[in-house]
Amino acid sequence: MDIYGRKLPIIIIIILVGILVLQFMNNDNNSLLIDSETCELYIEDSQFGGKKYLNEYDSKCQDFKNLNP
């Protein structure tokens, strides 16, 4: 296989796109969740097993909490 040929760059591009697709499919270690008491959004990271609060609040959750005191 000649490095100046047309097939090698196409094969390399296909391999790199395949690697990117696999990384995207396996990127489920972060999930966005809502704290039921404060309605604050947080991310639960499975790599270190902790919660990281984002200082953002879910408006629907807050409206529901205001209806049910």
One-letter identity of residue 8 = L
Structure tokens at 29: 């270690």
| Contact in structure between 62 and 37 (CB atoms under 8 Å) | no
Does the pTM exceed 0.85? no
The pLDDT value recorded for residue 31 is 66
The pLDDT value recorded for residue 15 is 95
pLDDT in tens, 6-54: 888 889 999 999 999 988 777 665 667 888 888 888 887 767 777 888 8
Reply yes or no on whether the pLDDT at 63 is more than 60.
yes
Reply yes or no on whether the pLDDT at 62 is more than 60.
yes
Helix (H) or strand (E) holding 56: strand 50-57
The pLDDT value recorded for residue 2 is 65
